[in-house]
Amino acid sequence: GQQLNQSPQSMFIQEGEDVSMNCTSSSIFNTWLWYKQEPGEGPVLLIALYKAGELTSNGRLTAQFGITRKDSFLNISASIPSDVGIYFCAGRGSGGSNYKLTFGKGTLLTVNP
Amino acid sequence: EPEVTQTPSHQVTQMGQEVILRCVPISNHLYFYWYRQILGQKVEFLVSFYNNEISEKSEIFDDQFSVERPDGSNFTLKIRSTKLEDSAMYFCASIGGVPNYGYTFGSGTRLTVV
């Protein structure tokens, strides 16, 4: 099946630092999504990317859909303690794949105040 | 904002017992899903459901699993005879029709099989 390689696995940073994480795939996806998950909760959508090359921001978060449609990155600027959580990338195929999501293994972000 | 609601939030069951996990998707959504997340691991696709039938299932979704949309609002996942390795968080999700691409996930049911 399709696999997403997400890196890094974990990050421990100081408050105020910028963060970058990325996902790569051997397969093409039509949509890239970035989610954040906090303990005991379901994934919450942060940013959705629909077109190759698209760069989208949501507050301090910026994500890009790679030109090859096989990769995406997420940047968080000026991190704050509430950014702590696990960040997952997810790729979605076409309607023919029933829009199912393939998730990366997640990046655990810890922010030291 | 509309939510996907899952019950119970936590279920403990004995190995071999049947469990039913319940979900109420967003009312005007058309595609329904179950995903599973074993503790500390990634979220994995189990099954998709559209137009009152399974449209795709993963290799995890074996004969012990079934899904049902018994009425216009509920979407259930049944595990017939639970195994220890079924212990995980189970997430329900739904999306509307195209072009609504943003999945909405429920908060999950933590299933513990003892």
Distance of CA A29 to the CA centre of its chain: 14
pLDDT at A64: 97
* A97 has pLDDT over 60: no
Contacts of A40 in chain B (CB under 8 A): 107-108, 110
B9 SS3 class? coil
Query: What mean pLDDT is reported for chain B?
Result: 91
Nearest by Cα to A11 from A85, A73, A77, A80: A85
* A7 has pLDDT over 90: yes
Whether A98 and B31 lie within 8 Å, measured CB to CB: yes
Distance (Å, rounded) from C-alpha A91 to C-alpha A72? Answer: 9
Contacts of A102 in chain B (CB under 8 A): 45
Structure confidence by residue, pLDDT tens digits, B30-81: 889 999 999 988 999 999 998 889 999 999 999 999 999 988 789 999 999 9
Between A99, A105, A106, which is nearest B95 by CB? A99
Q: Taking the C-alpha atoms of B103, A55, A104 and B61 in order, what is their torsion angle to the nearest 10 degrees? A: 30
Distance (Å, rounded) from C-alpha A4 to C-alpha A27? Answer: 9
Query: What mean pLDDT is reported for chain A?
Result: 92
Whether A101 and B35 lie within 8 Å, measured CB to CB: yes
Q: Any chain A CB within 8 A of the CB of B48?
A: yes
Whether A33 and B43 lie within 8 Å, measured CB to CB: no
Q: Distance of CA B2 to CAs A63, B27, B62, Å?
A: 25, 8, 31
Q: How confident is the model at residue A41 (pLDDT cuts 50, 70, 90)?
A: confident
